[in-house]
Structure 1
Amino acid sequence: MKLLEQISKYIKLDSLTEDFFYTETQTKTFAKGELLSHQNTYNRNVYYMENGLARMFYYEKGKDITTNFYSEGKAFGSVDTIFSNVASVYNIETLEESTITFCDYKKLEELCSISLTSANFSRYILGNLMTQMSKRMSSLQHMTAKEKYAQLLEENPNIILRAPLGMIATYLGISQETLSRIRSEI
């Protein structure tokens, strides 16, 4: 299981944690275009992308706006539902055939209450997610379109080959025309 391999890079797995991942998680292959989570629902699953690509998006004035991409090795979920217990305003969709490991966050919380190893790893993951969110907000507020595009290429160089340009443009907060112009300049 790729997820356990990834986790073992950061922590020494205890038997409770290993048992949890073998008994409480599911690994499934989803077709391109499948919605893992729908807006206005309470999806409390936490996902880990083993192989493939997904995005989170919402609708605004009839357009869909991409807020994030999740490629191999990324954890994701409907954070608004998981932590605030409100219906999510986001959808999560696979952009490629994707193999994803997932579990109910409540089960993960139960594990963290009995395994210090898992609790510490959970804090590590949450810290990374908070750092990513802070970096994303900062880029949207303080970077030019060209700087945001350069940062995207640095952090996820193959995204241009894997995701439609319209989705990338909405993720960067720019028009598709502006994205095309920036790409021709680089």
Structure 2
Amino acid sequence: MKLLDQISKYIKPDAVTEDFFRNETQTRIFAKGELLSHQNTHNRNVYYMENGLARTYYFEKGKDITTNFYSEGKSFGSIDTIFNNVPSIYNIETLEESTVTFCDYKKLEELCSVSLTSANFSRFLLGNLMAQMSKRISSLQHMTAKEKYAQLLEENPNIILRAPLGMIASYLGISQETLSRIRSEI
């Protein structure tokens, strides 16, 4: 199981943790364009991308705005629902056929209450997610369009080849025309 292999890079899973990931998670292949989570719903699943690509997006003034991409090895979910128990404003959509492992967050919380190893790993993951969100907010507020594109190339070069340019432009907070101009300059 790829997820357990990934976790083993950071912690030595105890027997309870290994049992949980073998018995309480599901792995499924989703078709390109399939929605894993719909806006205005309470989806408390957490996902791990084994293979493929997905994005989170919302609608604003008739346009869909991409907020994040998730490729191999990334964890994701409807954070607003998971932590605030409100209907999500986001959709999560596969951009390629994707193999995804997932489980209900409530079950993951239960695991953390009986396994110190899992609780520590959960804190580690949440810390990384917070750091990523902080970096994303900072880039949107303080970087030029060219700097944001360069950062995306550095951190996720495969996204440029795998996601439509319109989605990449909305993720960067720029128009598709601006993205085309930047790409021609680099």
- State the partner residue of 1:150: 150
* Letter aligned with residue 96 of structure 1: E
Which amino acid in the other structure matches residue 133 of structure 2? M
Residues in 2 aligned to 1:22 and 1:159: alpha-carbon distance in whole angstroms: 30
Secondary structure in 2 matching 1:100: strand
Matches within 5 A, 1:5-44: 5-44=5-44
Q: Report how far residue 63 of structure 1 moved.
A: 0.4
Gaps of 5+ in 2: none
Alpha-carbon distance in 2 for matches of 1:151, 1:4: 29
1:58 corresponds in structure 2 to 58
Q: Give how far 1:162 is off.
A: 0.2
Distance in 2 (alpha carbons) for counterparts of 1:106 and 1:85: 12
Q: Counterparts in 2 of 1:109-120, with a 5 A limit?
A: 109-120=109-120
Percent of aligned positions that are identical: 87
Aligned residue identity for 2:44: R
Query: Are 2:69 and 1:69 aligned?
Result: yes
Runs of 4+ in 1 over 6 A off after TM superposition: none
Query: Residues 74-102 of structure 1, C-alpha deviation per residue, up to 9 Å, x if partnerless?
Result: 00000000000000000000000000000
Aligned mates of 2:158, 2:68 — CA distance in 1: 15
Q: How far apart are 1:154 and its partner, in Å?
A: 0.5
Residue by residue over 1:128-157, the C-alpha shift from the partner in whole angstroms, topping out at 9 and shown as x without a partner, is 000000000000000000000000011101
> Which residue does the alignment assign to 2:88?
88
Q: Which amino acid aligns with 2:51?
A: N
Local SS of the residue matching 1:58 = strand
Q: Secondary structure at the match of 2:65?
A: strand
Aligned-CA RMSD value? 0.3
Q: Distance in 2 between matches of 1:108 and 1:13?
A: 14
1:32-73 Cα offsets, whole Å, 9 max, x none, are 000000000000000000000000000001100000000000
State the TM-score, normalized to the length of structure 1: 1.00
Ranges in structure 1 where 5+ consecutive residues have no aligned partner: none
Q: How many residues align?
A: 186
Deviation at 1:160, TM superposition (A): 1.0
Counting only pairs closer than 5 Å after superposition, residues 99-138 of structure 1 correspond to structure 2 as 99-138=99-138
1:158 positional shift = 1.1
Q: TM-score, normalised by structure 2?
A: 1.00
